Amino acid sequence: MEFNFIATTFRYKEDDLIEELRELFYEFGDLSADIRTTNIDGLVLGLSSKDPVEFIFFLRKKLKDVPWEIRYLLRLIPIEKVVLTDILKIKDVSIELMKKIPNNESFKIFIEKRHTNLKKIDIINELGNFISTKVDLTNPTWILLIEVIGKFTGVSVIKNNIIFSSMIEKRSFE
C-alpha cells in the first residue's frame, strides 16, 4: 500500500472528506490525488504527486482566507516512507529519516497505532539504542512520527509545526 498522507475526519464523514480533499488538491494543482477510505472510522489515506508538507501550508492559508471551504478535514499528516508493520523495518526507516535532524536540535517520538498488537514501548525501546539525538518531550524541534495502521506503517521526520489540525489552526486565528 502506498500513501504519502493520512487525513482524519468525523466518524462516517469519510466520503465527504474525500470529496473535500479532491477539490482542495485540484485547486493546489494535483489533478489526480488518490484518496481512499480505510477500515478505520474517520481515517483516509492518500497519495499525491505534490509534496504534502507544501499542501499543509496551502491548507493553512485556505483556512485563514476561506475557512468554510474546510469543513470535514480535521488533521492532515504527511508521510515520508511506508513499510510493513514490523519493528525492525520501522527501526531501519526511522534511523534513515532521522539523519536529516541536525546534531544540535531535539526531537520526540510520536506514535499512533491502530489495528495492531504492537506496543508503543517496544518500538521506543527498539529505537532508543540507535538514536543519539537529544530528546525533548515538551518542545522538540522535530518529531519522529510513526503511524501504525494495521499491517502498514507510515513514518516521517517532520518539523514540530507541520502536522495540520484544523481545530488548532482555527483557534490560532482568534
pLDDT category at 100 given cuts 50, 70, 90 is very high
CA distance 156 to 146: 7
CA distance 64 to 96: 35
- Cβ contact 159:141 at 8 Å: yes
Q: For 110-164, how does the pLDDT look when each residue is reduced to its tens digit (9 = 90+)? A: 999 999 999 999 999 999 888 888 899 999 999 999 999 999 999 999 999 899 9
Structural domains of the chain sorted by starting position, each given as residue range(s) with its CATH number in brackets: 5-79+161-173 (3.30.70), 81-159 (3.30.2130.30)
C-alpha cell at 58: 496551502
Buried b / exposed e along 16-50 (16+ C-beta atoms within 10 A)? ebbebbbebbeebebeebebeebeeebbbbbbbee
Query: 88 — phi, psi (to 5°)?
Result: -70, -40
Q: Among 113, 121, 119, 120, which residue's Cα sits nearest to residue 150?
A: 113
pLDDT at 174: 66
pLDDT category at 172 given cuts 50, 70, 90 is confident
Give the count of beta carbons closer than 10 Å to the beta carbon of residue 1: 13
Q: Per-residue pLDDT for 13 more than 80?
A: yes
pLDDT at 147: 98
Q: For 18-64, how does the pLDDT look when each residue is reduced to its tens digit (9 = 90+)? A: 999 999 999 999 999 999 999 999 999 999 999 999 999 999 999 99
Asked whether the whole model's pTM tops 0.85, one would answer yes
